[in-house]
Structure 1
Amino acid sequence: MSVARVLSGAILGLAASIALAADPDQAIRSTLNSLEPGLPIEAIAESPFTGLYQVHLKGGRLLYASADGKFLLQGNLYQYRDGEAINLTRQAESKGIAKEINAIPTSEMVVFSPKEPAKAHITVFTDTDCGYCQKLHSEVPELNRRGIEVRYVAFPRQGIGSRGYNTLVSVWCAKDRKEAMNLAKSRENVPAATCTNPVAKQYELGQMVGVSGTPSIILGNGEMIPGYQPAPQLAEIALQAK
């Protein structure tokens, strides 16, 4: 699903044949379905801004629409509160992303856990060929030492069937996933292996929640950090977001 494509269609204007529905939910769905059939709409509800409705898409993304469905908006909605601007869009999207990520069984991840009970966790969309992914992986022991559990999910940047995809499949199908991940992140050969695996599914999930590069780090509250962060800084952020 391309949000940009939806909005570009809206900018050109709605077709005259779209009838005004009896209620906002119907009107907004009619508009969006005419522009992007099959758009994964999870819910439509009033936003905190009077007269503006928020459209929750599967994966956590948000669009805004007028009650009659004739105006669409993509962007951040802020509320001025107690002397600061609160990003309401980011808060809502983070909740949706957290829902999707927390639904992934840890059995489908490659998990590096601290020796003591974890204080917080991060979920990392990773590609084994990514230089900054390798740098982040070298700091996993430090993250563990600081009480952060690191959960890897797959995101082959070059797509399904690429060399990176095949390497990730071999990692997920290895008898010891953590050792295979260590080899891959050290640019060493990972023995080829195949099995029923979640690599393609996780890649599609990453696209749905807005991952565009690696590493993309999802905090416990669903907030996304697009890119590498040094272990001390990342651990502090993760502890604050648990």
Structure 2
Amino acid sequence: MRFAPLVLTLALLVFAADAALARGPLDALDASDATASLTPEALAKLRDRLAQDVGRPPDEIRASATPGLLEAQWGGLFAYVTADGRYVVYGDMVDLSNGNELTEARRRSDRLAAINRLGVENMIEYTPTPPAPSRYVVTVFTDIDCGYCRQLHRDIDDYNARGIAIRYVFYPRTGPDTESFKKAVAVWCSSNHKLAFTRAAAGAPLIGNPQCANPIQREYELGLSFGIRGTPLLVLPNGAAVSGYLPPDVLLTRLNQMQAASGSKN
């Protein structure tokens, strides 16, 4: 697979793909107008060429914001390709006229949509005590055996006191059939999710039924699709992903900046 761990910025650079991707034009397409509708045959050929280069076909191919280029997406990974399949660049697109991160904006939208599909009923939520309002809601991918995740939870009252609601989604980094995964299942299968989570985060043993219908595998796979490499991972209300622990005041500052930036664009 040709995706590098570093994200490339696409501004004015387009480079040729390897020979597997550049074996000739797609006759059904005009490369000068990549936003034109693709025939099913042309789309299939383009998907096949990208699959040869990456190792699997893209999840979606669509028009991009740049004339002459299509956007191909594999989860959180993106490429921009000419409609004839001859040239491709892997990475992110930025509008240099205004600094807008076009690819990252789509990632953020995708994250929020996926979290909404998961549903709050499949999360463990800690909210400010009424009548204090929740000014912000932050989704946290967490691992019970992660030290910084435990630190974040020790501060849960301080987050709530600042108007920040925390919704936990499980991402046991060691994967299925491991102790961390089993602990997550045990928390979910307890009669009181919040109490069990707090006990587990403090290192206390969990007592109760370790098996029940639960969303842990689904949440773990969601984390994989987000490309999570460590926990905690915080997803902010605008879809931005922040890796690592942020103290309550630092997170509040970040959220206020996010809100101010959003207001300045309206």
State the TM-score bracket (shorter-chain normalisation): 0.7 to 0.9
What's the TM-score, normalizing by structure 1?
0.85
Root mean square deviation of aligned Cα? 2.5
Residue 226 of structure 1: aligned partner = 243
Q: What's the TM-score, normalizing by structure 2? A: 0.78
Contact 2:21 2:50 in 1 (8 A): no
Whole-angstrom distance in 2 between the partners of 1:44 and 1:202: 27
Q: Alignment length, in residue pairs? A: 233
Rg bigger for which structure? 2
- Deviation by residue 1:84-134 (Cα, 9 ceiling, x = unmatched): x33222122111111111222111111111123311101111000000001
2:177 matched to 1:178? no
Q: How do 1:1-242 residues align onto structure 2 when only pairs under 5 Å count?
A: 4=3, 12-14=18-20, 20=26, 22-23=28-29, 25=38, 26=43, 27-35=45-53, 39=57, 41-45=59-63, 47-58=64-75, 60-82=76-98, 85-115=99-129, 116-192=132-208, 193-241=210-258
Question: 1: distance between equivalents of 2:214 and 2:121?
Answer: 11
Q: Once the two structures are aligned, what percentage of the paired residues are identical?
A: 31
Flag structure 1 segments of 5+ consecutive residues without an equivalent.
none
Structure 2: which 5+ residue stretches go unaligned? Answer: 5-15, 260-266
Query: What letter matches 1:112 in structure 2?
Result: Y
**Shift, 1:68, TM fit:** 1.7
CA displacement 1:28-68 (0-9 Å, x = unmatched): 323234456764513411x223322212344x543222222
Q: Which sits farther off after the overlay, 185-194 or 119-128?
A: 185-194
Instruction: Name the CA distance, whole Å, in 1 between partners of 2:161 and 2:22.
Output: 61
